């Protein structure tokens, strides 16, 4: 009976003895706040993403907040954000006192639509948050063509895109700063956590200061530091540092990154085969030259709208298969609708994506039988809805 079958989660982290061993080493060292494990984690992440600077943070939200501050975004500035994304892509702009200006997305890829971005750019545009949604690299070449000559800064929201590439180059190093997430739903996880990446040494230095209470390095560079030194604080900063315990988990996860990405890709391609016969279901698109991590495998119903989509999800839940909508149409959320006088049906592609997308299970260790079950139940649920 269905009730006796294994519950299939949307995703689950892939841990084994490697994480336990790294955490044990951290605990045995007696150093558990930001320290040598964080430094190793940052170096390994930077190498994997081909950037000279990586800085670990408490979350991707923290990374986005730090990025906007370090780029000098503030009151009087505008930052363009895709209307279909997780809410913190926009929240980070609001934290600085700047104004969010939304642009629509391409309904095929769910990433920002360059034509809508062009219309959203104005004289006060200071930056664009380029979201690599669900792990699919956004159209960076088109974005740079619209922004480079105007001096508009690029923040890559790569929360879902650890290990993804654009034109063969890892995301997070094409814009001014990249922001990654290690939430449990992501390709690798530290429980909670994030990472900043940049090629700019001056920007990296500002990010390091803002992350650590605003503490400025001692200009004397004395090592070891004198016992009486308390630090210099010239700017208002935050405590947004990752702990060595979390970094220990991250080090073990990074060692598995290539395997985890390959497993996700293989499972996604198998879903493509299993689901290709469902006529009114759009599968993930991967246009050249964009890479995809398949952090989420998101399908879209072509008929029936939100009500039918919700019935399908409820049927799958009753069958023991967990799903989620793709993500928010952020301009519909109460705070942004009220603040900017936005209407629910503004940004029609984002609205359609919010109403009709479903993320289905994909996780490390998933079996062929698991995928067969998801595909069979999804097809049946769509017929019933």
Distance between CA atoms of residues 180 and 185, nearest Å: 12
User: pLDDT tens across 281-296, in order?
Assistant: 999 999 999 999 999 9
Write the DSSP string, 78-128.
EEEEESBS-THHHHHHHHTT-EEEEE-B-TTTSSBPHHHHHHH--TTEEEE
Which DSSP state fits 147?
H
Of the residues 150, 186, 256, 265, only one is catalytic, namely: 186
What are the extents of the domains in the chain? 2-10+257-384, 17-217+232-254
Residue-level pLDDT at 228: 80
Q: Domain 2-10+257-384: which topology? A: 3.90.1150
Distance between CA atoms of residues 64 and 70, nearest Å: 10
Q: 0.85 exceeded by the pTM?
A: yes
Residues 6+ apart with CB under 8 A from 227: none
Residue-level pLDDT at 2: 43
Instruction: Decide if 39 is catalytic.
Output: no
Distance between CA atoms of residues 96 and 244, nearest Å: 29
Residue-level pLDDT at 4: 56
User: pLDDT tens across 68-119, in order?
Assistant: 999 999 999 999 999 999 999 999 999 999 999 999 999 999 999 999 999 9
Mean pLDDT rounded to a whole number for the chain: 96
Residues 6+ apart with CB under 8 A from 281: 275, 299, 300, 301, 302, 378, 382
User: pLDDT tens across 310-368, in order?
Assistant: 999 999 999 999 999 999 999 999 999 999 999 999 999 999 999 999 999 999 999 99
pLDDT band at 3 (very low <50, low <70, confident <90, very high): very low
pLDDT score of 50 more than 90: yes
pLDDT score of 251 more than 60: yes
User: pLDDT tens across 184-241, in order?
Assistant: 999 999 999 999 999 999 999 999 999 999 999 877 667 777 888 888 899 999 999 9
For the domain with range 17-217+232-254, which CATH number is right: 2.160.10.10, 3.40.50.720, 3.20.20.370, 3.40.640.10? Answer: 3.40.640.10
Could you give the count of Cα atoms lying within 13 Å of 199 in the half-sphere of its Cβ?
Answer: 13
Distance between CA atoms of residues 53 and 44, nearest Å: 10
Mean pLDDT to the nearest integer, 231-254: 96
**Is residue 57 within 8 Å of 211, Cβ to Cβ?**
yes
């Amino acid at each position: 009976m269905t009730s006796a079958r294994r519950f299939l989660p949307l995703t689950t982290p892939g841990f084994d003895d490697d994480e336990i061993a790294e955490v044990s080493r951290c605990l045995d060292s007696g150093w558990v706040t930001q320290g040598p494990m964080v430094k190793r984690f940052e170096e390994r992440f930077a190498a994997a993403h081909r950037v000279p600077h990586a800085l670990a943070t408490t979350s991707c939200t923290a990374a986005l907040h730090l990025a906007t501050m370090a780029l000098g975004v503030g009151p009087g500035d505008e930052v363009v954000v895709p209307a279909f994304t997780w809410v913190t892509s926009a929240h980070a702009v609001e934290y600085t006192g700047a104004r969010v200006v939304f642009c629509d997305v391409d309904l095929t890829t769910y990433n920002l639509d360059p034509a809508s971005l062009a219309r959203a750019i104005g004289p006060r545009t200071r930056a664009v948050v380029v979201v690599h949604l669900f792990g699919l690299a956004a159209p960076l070449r088109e974005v740079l063509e619209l922004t480079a000559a105007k001096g508009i800064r690029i923040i890559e929201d790569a929360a879902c895109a650890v290990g993804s590439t654009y034109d063969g180059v890892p995301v997070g190093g094409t814009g001014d700063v990249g922001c990654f997430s290690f939430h449990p739903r992501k390709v690798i996880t530290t429980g909670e956590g994030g990472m900043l990446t940049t090629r700019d040494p001056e920007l990296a230095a500002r990010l390091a200061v803002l992350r650590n209470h605003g503490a400025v390095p001692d200009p004397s560079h004395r090592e070891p530091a004198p016992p009486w030194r308390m630090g210099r604080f010239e700017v208002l900063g935050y405590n947004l540092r990752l702990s060595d315990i979390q970094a220990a988990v991250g080090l073990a996860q990074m060692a598995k990154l290539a395997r985890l990405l390959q497993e996700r890709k293989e499972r996604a391609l198998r879903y493509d085969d299993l689901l290709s016969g469902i006529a009114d279901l759009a599968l993930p698109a991967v246009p050249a030259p964009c890479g995809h991590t398949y952090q989420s495998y998101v399908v879209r119903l072509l008929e029936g709208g939100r009500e039918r989509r919700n019935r399908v999800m409820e049927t799958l839940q009753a069958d023991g298969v967990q799903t989620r909508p793709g993500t928010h149409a952020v301009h519909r959320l109460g705070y942004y609708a009220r603040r900017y006088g936005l209407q629910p049906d503004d940004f029609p592609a984002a609205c359609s994506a919010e109403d009709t997308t479903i993320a289905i299970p994909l996780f490390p260790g998933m079996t062929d039988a698991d995928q067969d079950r998801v595909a069979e139940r999804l097809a049946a649920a769509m017929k019933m809805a």
